[in-house]
Structure 1
Amino acid sequence: MSRSHPGEPNGSTSTSEETPLLHQATPAPKTPPTVSWASMPRKSQLAVIVFARLAEPLSERSLTSYLFYQLKWFNPDLDAGTIAKQAGYLTAMFAAAQCLTSMWWGHLADDPRLGRKRVLVIGLVGSAVSALGMGFSRSLYLAFFFRFLAGALNGNVGVLRTMISEVIADKRYQSRAFLLLPMCFNVGVIIGPLLSSFLADPVHSLPGLFGDDSLFGGANGVQWMKHFPYALPNLFFAILLSTAALGVILGLDETHPHLRYQTDPGRKLGKVIMRKIFKHESPLDSGEIAHSSASSGLLENDIEATPMRKPEVKQRPSIRGVLTKRVCYTMLQRFLQSLHVSAFNSILFNFLPTPRADAKDFRLPFRFSGGLGLSAQKMGLANTTIGMVGIPLQLLLYPRLISSLGVRNSYRVFLPLGAVAYCLLPYLVLLSDDAAIIWTCLSVVLTLQVLSRTFVNPATVMLVNDCAPSPNALGTVHGFAQSISSAARIMGPVVGGNLLGWGLGHNFVGLPLWVLAIVSMANLAVVWKIEDVHIE
């Protein structure tokens, strides 16, 4: 079905008074705009979605920089091994809660009584409340409760993916639009821990501002910060999440097929505020502006023309009706992909700091052990490398190749690069102690894995989006995919950690990574069963 775009002819032709009708040439159709980031339609709506998504990984990833110390503050008598186990349980608690609830949040987002926006706002407010609770917790049990609450109240990733597919209906732009969410995650991985490392325990980390005889603390320092040393970063991110929720209420259109034409009080208030600020009609609205406004060039690509009459909407299918053969294959590839990626991340950051082993026990090519013995500072550098490599690949390389390869072919071409990285990583322990050689080889391996992940992750989302049997089931399908992914993210680190422990103890450190390579090849086999997403 063809779609009208701003600036394209609408099918009618005008005649000139000087030229006879029979001799007048029909104007040639204008060439569609080049698909690029600059020509992306409805940028204002995408900006609100990006802000809503960015607030969450910033908050979630910030825990990594201070969680160990907060758990130590709960009980100073604990040893490092026990604290590491508690941190792992807290991480699993969040993923388990998401696994149990994400599909139901997606189903509620498909329900016209609630819709996409309300579910999104509930998720953001729930995350804000959970962050505050975590910051002001004084015991491990309260921390467990608020981490479970954070996962249980938040199925926003699936809802945001659903809204992106409805905001950007043109498949030519979807490959770029779906990149925005993983890019937000990469930014959160880099910035979240950095911010929280400055804000955590501010009486000691920023004594000139909050300690004794400080600018804000006076003679005795800021007392509530002494009683709750890890509240400040959580308070900051709770404000950020609440601001994102307010931005969704005021600035984001409801995209549910039943609700998109109804009056939205939040959007009406948002437009009033924008008129007061900019002294003219806000360009943020996309559902109530007539076709003529878009074609006049005033709003350019920020508006996608919508029908003036509400279309007939089919009845929402049941959860059982959603589980078609194609959906099941798509969910299986989603599970396998999340399983080997999450297991690799867990293994990697336990393998890198593990001390080197004595080479006299090695029996090549398979029987060897040990890690790279990297310090905490070098571990942080490795983590930053992963984030910094991923962003330019997503912005520059992925959009160019996805349009020529197609979604499934890009999946099939780049997924094996991850398997190659899994196979090569354990052999780095056989290198000499030369730092230049180690970092060069490690960077190559990490680049292979990031390159694979950069192309595969958005492709999995597009395959999930395309497999929905009905537009009214889109939220349910994305929520189901998020639950499947969460289940894999629970299993992956547990299985990977246990396999790594066994491998280190039995002179077989490569075993867990080679198992991941086999899982990724099974992932590839499933992808062959799925139809491609056609980008017109």
Structure 2
Amino acid sequence: MSATEQRIADEETPLLRSNDSNDNTVNGPVKETPLPWRQFGIVLFLQLAEPLTSQVIYPFLPQLIRDLGVTHGDDTKVGYYVGIMQSIFFATQALTVLHWSRASDRIGRKPVILLGLFGLSLSMYCFGLSKTFLGLAISRSMAGALNGNIGVIKSILAELTDNTNVARAFAYQPIAWSSGSTLGPLIGGALSHPAERFPSVFGDSEFMKSHPYFLPCAIPATFSLIAWIVTFFFLEETNPSPFSFRRPVKREKPRKPPTTQKNALDAPVADATTPSCSSSSTSLSLSPSPSIIQPTDQKEYEPVPLLSLLTPRVIVAAGNYALLSLVDIAYRAVQPVFWAMPISLGGLGLTPSTIGVILSILGCGNGIFQVFFFADIHNYLGSRTLYLIGMASAFPLFALFPLTSVLAENFGVGTVVWIAVGAQLGFTLLFNVCYGCIFIYITAASPNKRSLGATNGLAQMLVSITRCIGPAVANSLFSLSLEHGYLGGWLVYYVLILITAVAFAGGTMLPRKLWKRAEH
């Protein structure tokens, strides 16, 4: 085999058959390793802070933009400012998430998560207190800059699992996201303007009247503080050589990676010139004893340099994650604006509380679907096939926007429209399976376990860039389509379908068999 062929084979070698939970053709089915539920449950609890803080603002954000007066009463411009507000968080996160993730490879996952939870809490309190667009922008920027938890938590999940149970772990992961996606919109939709909605409780509060969005923001902010306490006292470090809080005080030495010795012999390694007896001859041998292997180079246990991460497998996995997130964030950015827009402007004219209920139903349904069906479907179809099926569901997902608009214009928001909305939510459930598949690919793509943070950080940086661009572009196109009537006001949907086609083409580059996962 030539050097070129060998390199290609190394890059495309799938998981060993004996270790691949998707391949039961050798030695029968592989028994699934039980998940470490105590730590895994804590991680899911901590992960709830992310969707709570992000989803709580979606139901009232269009109304908040109107209340600030930055659109000067022009509702067609609401989409511009909503898109900017959604993009600011991901813009600052793109600048910092890789650094936080790489730091977690060296000092441990726990210190980085503690800082991230503190940043989430502080930013949400500030968001609720802000009364200007600039104040809102600074608050969201703070949340993105201080929070690197998204990539770090994925690294912890990878370190808590192996090849046999990784699909099961990522099937349970949506419990946190779906719970947050269910509770967040309910909190945001139900508790905004509390002095008006609950006059018997908050009617006399001048603070709630002057800060009508503080209460829904304060709840996820307080939850993040509780999550900080849980992390500090109960989360165990999963990094093989983490930073110790006690090391600077007690001068503890970092743990060294284990040495690898065959047969666990304690005798010193013989010098190459030391003679040894042969069992088949009385003659002396000048060869070293074959029963002892030299200690493994410590560099194999160290995080790899940043440029060394740019292997084909990491690029393919991270690139598909970025394209998936671009499609997803564009959909999520347009969705609440479309629902909130008046019917005369091509929307449905729904209230923030109604939007919150719909998003909560979606979050709850997604959690149930992922937990009970994802792992089994994944093990049956495989990561690549399931990913492509999920991505294909985005085509009808976007096509239903203009169809629903036409139905609402002709029949009003009645039974027919709600059937269309329900169908769209159903396709959303199928689309969301793409995330579990791509997380498995990213975990398998890491060069070694000590580089999991950097690998997830690199992928998350690309995702943050696309999530920064996505809302601004999607909502700007939405507003332009309405303002100028491009393609009957549907230009934005044609563009989103085109982006979906590009993402689907990218998914075809994923290998049918997962890459071999690093063992150390």
- TM-score of the alignment, normalized to the shorter chain, above 0.5: yes
Shift of 1:429: 4.1
Aligned twin of 1:339: 326
Return closer, same or farther for 1:440/1:133 CA change in 2, 3 Å cut-off: closer
Aligned twin of 1:396: 372
Is residue 422 of structure 2 the alignment partner of residue 443 of structure 1?
yes
Aligned twin of 1:154: 147
Q: Deviations for 1:385-434, whole angstroms, at most 9, x for unmatched residues?
A: 43233122112121210111111221123321222333354234444517
Alignment of 1:44-63 (within 5 A): 44-63=38-57
Bigger mean CA offset, 500-509 vs 340-349? 500-509
- C-alpha distance in 2, partners of 1:515/1:227? 40
Q: Secondary structure of the equivalent of 2:48? A: helix
- C-alpha distance in 1, partners of 2:219/2:386? 39
Alignment of 1:47-86 (within 5 A): 47-67=41-61, 78-79=72-73, 81=75, 85-86=80-81
**Corresponding residue to 1:179 among 164, 167, 171:** 171
Aligned twin of 1:98: 93
- Contact 1:353/1:371, CA 8 A, preserved across alignment: no
Aligned twin of 2:222: 239
Aligned twin of 1:383: 359
Q: What's the C-alpha RMSD, in Å, of the aligned pairs? A: 3.4
Stretches of structure 1 lacking an aligned partner (at least 5 in a row):
4-28, 213-220, 267-308, 358-369
Q: Secondary structure of the equivalent of 1:64? A: coil
- Give the letter aligned to residue 258 of structure 1: S
- Contact 2:341/2:350, CA 8 A, preserved across alignment: no
Alignment of 1:269-308 (within 5 A): none
Shift of 1:378: 5.0
Aligned twin of 2:286: none
Q: Deviations for 1:329-379, whole angstroms, at most 9, x for unmatched residues?
A: 22221121111222222233334455557xxxxxxxxxxxx7353432654
User: Per chain length, whose mean CA-contact separation is higher, i.e. which structure has more relative contact order (CA < 8 Å, sep 6+)?
Assistant: 2
Return closer, same or farther for 1:231/1:516 CA change in 2, 3 Å cut-off: closer
**Corresponding residue to 2:104 among 98, 104, 109:** 109
Q: Deviations for 1:295-324, whole angstroms, at most 9, x for unmatched residues?
A: xxxxxxxxxxxxxx9995523211111111
Aligned twin of 1:319: 306
Shift of 1:155: 1.2
- Contact 2:97/2:148, CA 8 A, preserved across alignment: yes
- C-alpha distance in 2, partners of 1:77/1:485? 29
- C-alpha distance in 1, partners of 2:174/2:39? 17
Aligned twin of 1:43: 37
Stretches of structure 2 lacking an aligned partner (at least 5 in a row):
1-15, 20-26, 248-294
Shift of 1:149: 0.7
Shift of 1:437: 2.4
**Corresponding residue to 2:395 among 411, 419, 424:** 419
Shift of 1:488: 1.1
- Aligned identity (percent) is 24
**What TM-score comes out, normalization by structure 1 length?**
0.72
Shift of 1:159: 0.4
- C-alpha distance in 1, partners of 2:308/2:474? 35
Q: Deviations for 1:120-179, whole angstroms, at most 9, x for unmatched residues?
A: 1110011112222223335433332222111100010110000000012x2222112123
Return closer, same or farther for 1:338/1:198 CA change in 2, 3 Å cut-off: closer
Return closer, same or farther for 1:355/1:263 CA change in 2, 3 Å cut-off: closer
Q: Secondary structure of the equivalent of 2:301? A: coil
Return closer, same or farther for 1:65/1:80 CA change in 2, 3 Å cut-off: farther
- Contact 2:181/2:364, CA 8 A, preserved across alignment: no
- C-alpha distance in 2, partners of 1:418/1:533? 24
Alignment of 1:139-288 (within 5 A): 139-168=132-161, 170-212=162-204, 221=205, 225=208, 228-259=211-242
Q: Which runs of 4+ in 1 moved over 6 A?
A: 29-32, 262-266
